Amino acid sequence: MTPVKDLTETTAPDLAVELGLTPDEYEKIVEILGRVPSKTELYMYSLMWSEHCSYKTSRAYLRQFPTDGEHVLQGPGENAGVISAGDGWAIAFKMESHNHPSAIHPFQGAGTGLGGCARDIFAMGARPIAFVGSSRFGSLDSEHQRWLFDEATKGMVDYSRGFRVPLVAGETYFDDAYEGNCLINAMAIGQLREEDLIRAQATGVGNLVVLIGGKTGREGIGGASVLASADFGETAEGESPVVEVTGVLGDPDEGRRLAEACLELQQAGLLVGLGDLGAAGLTSSASEMASRAGNGIEIDVDAVPLKEEGMEPFEIMVSETQERMLAVVDPDNLNEVVAICQKWELPVTVVGKVTDTGKFVVKKGDELHGEMPASSLAEDAPTVESEMSRPSYLDELGAFDLDSLEHPREVADLNRTLLDMLASTNLSSRKWAADQAADVAVDRVVLGSGNDAAVVRIGDEDSTRAIAISADCNGRYVYLDPYRGSQIALAEAARNVSCVGADPAAITDCLNFGNPEKPEVFWTFAQSIAGLADGCRALGVPVISGNVSFYNESGGAAIYPTPVIGMVGLLDSIDEVKTLDFKDEGDVIILVGQTADELGGSEYLSAVHGVAAGTIPALDLELEADVQRIVRRLVRQDLVKSAHDCSDGGIAVALAESAIAGDIGATVVLDDDLPAHSSLFSETQSRILVTCDVADAEKVIEELHDAEVPYSVIGEVGGRRLLIENAIDLPVSDLAVAHGDALGDILAV
């Protein structure tokens, strides 16, 4: 067959530029093909060579990450990373962004962010068991931001409920830096037997390529290339200016049935390979599967079931319709595959075959609309070398004189400050969001939202093994110091899973930044990657999957650089898990670590003074590892009753949270010789509050001494008030009211 000549030497370059390709990239395509590309080929290359799909700006830097480790079964390069979890069980997990679709349609965009991650999980042969959300919005003083937050939260919960997988943890922050560009990051976690791990590869010449799931429509055409570089401003509630590009119309029940069908096919040994149709649709899934196997693939678009008549071949190839998977199947197994898909009420269609040519062939009946090397789509996107320069704002903000601010000194003022911080949108209870998801199946959930980390039981119904999950990033820290701020995000995620007793095993990430074509933005990105890479090596935690999201800005103003870390830790037994709440009268309170005068970039400065400035806290990664290691040891020996990370808001907020959670007070003496506001609200790293029975205190102190970590006995649990000598004197009930349900109250207005 001769390729359809629907473009000429005159029209093709103009369409290439319109689709986001540079003139040099167009010339490279011509060189690869040896001719003028067709319209279908140009669309396919434009999507696969977009920043969103190819990571052409970032991939050279991502190679710095350590990707191997004791538990790693599958690192980056597949739909999701996979780690071993003991007794033959494995855990697959992945985090991705859905920022730009959610800025337009927050309900659908946020929900299908979870759906896309879920497909990545069961594409590996794993059953999804938990979802996590991480989001950022502007100030809730804005009606539009309240609408975005409300709709995005409900969208995630709705998808979680329809998919019947619980939303177990997450984080939500509010800052003016995200006013024009919200962040919606989704994470999915699944379990499988190690021997059931499958990969997205088109192996076996002559095997069939089978499309499973919903009919293909015009949703998302151009989504990855158009939305990834869009500049979003304020959009009126309900408006959808580019809804035809968003591809966010998902069906969680169909997604659930798709998962069940694919898992049943895998268990029956009927799948050679399985891939998710996400960004760039059939093009990305088929080209990546063929390229990984070193094979070719042929697709006949006439065989693809369509939602609407008249769709052109290029539309079919790049559609981002949700709830679809691409399977490679032995012809002898086709009838069984069809029967299982029909059982789950899913369309299933043979749309192509695996070849030995190395070519990606797209035809429409007898018409040839594309013929290109599969590897050129999946692997040959040109690398972009971005310029870098250190942001000029860093020196000014780093030198900000914190002493020029008026700080509270009297107990009454310090009481008011603590209450105001507990009531702030970044520190207040997330009860409203947690209540939205309260009726989702939670049979595996040991600890859910509101703890340092979620804990989810894994294995069969008799298993006591579990994983701990945390998602963390302080964007202000990364803005003020991208190298160290990124390491702090990593350290806090690890600290959170350590507090419940889990060994940090591996991370996924979602790296949210502004326009990489701006030298200051790209310098920040490069510093963040270097910091994370060094931090992962120091803590012995590999990166097994992740996502880069660039162009997060509006009106030329970038978001805070926000590299969100999704951490998974391993627990041998749910019986070892500890929580953050104070337990019993007379329990001893011990601070593992020590407090320094480190208020730069703190929640105290932001919430009380409206300032994002100063030098962020130091981070000694060796000390961090030692503190986490000894706390895990104390938890597993059952020597402590509670453990709680000291982070946003400092030790005063950590003490208040533990008191509120346990509905019991504490009497505390902080002997750090710092000004009261610094002692209470400093965000010094590598600190964990633990409590223990008086009878165990001597043993705990001995263990801490032998571990050679700093510590201090600071008080005891009891009473109905939080008393911090010369600083705080408040009833626990007042703390609870302040912490309350500020987000729910705001949205109810």
- The one catalytic residue among 52, 71, 105, 644: 52
In the sheet where 81-86 sits, what is the strand order? 72-74, 81-86, 89-97, 183-193, 127-137, 167-174
**52 labelled catalytic:** yes
Give backbone dihedrals phi and psi of 78, rounded to 5 degrees, phi first. -115, -175
Residue of 83, 62, 189, 72 whose CA lies nearest to 133:
189
Instruction: Let me know: does 330 contact 288? Beta carbons within 8 Å.
Output: no
Q: Measuring CA to CA, how many Å separate 313 from each of 295, 319, 361, 370?
A: 22, 10, 12, 9
In eight-state DSSP terms, residue 214 is S
* Active-site residue (options: 98, 100, 644, 677): 98
Distance CA 747, CA 741 (A): 10
98 catalytic residue (yes or no): yes
3-class SS string, 323-388? CEEEEEECHHHHHHHHHHHHHCCCCEEEEEEEECCCEEEEEECCEEEEEEEHHHHHCCCCCCCCCC
Q: What angle do CA 255, 256, 261 make, to 5 degrees?
A: 95
From 34, 46, 52, select the one nearest 511 (Cα to Cα): 52
Name every residue whose Cβ is closer than 8 Å to that of residue 81 and which is 6 or more positions away in sequence.
Answer: 72, 74, 75, 92, 93, 94, 506, 508, 543, 544, 545
Q: From the CB of residue 606, how many other CB atoms can be counted at a distance below 10 Å?
A: 18
Within 10 angstroms of residue 347's Cβ, the number of other Cβ atoms is 14
Q: What are the start-end ranges of the E strands in 220-282? A: 273-276
CB 493 within 8 A of CB 502: no
DSSP codes joined into one string, 712-725: EEEEEE-SSEEEET
* Catalytic residue numbers, as ranges: 52, 98
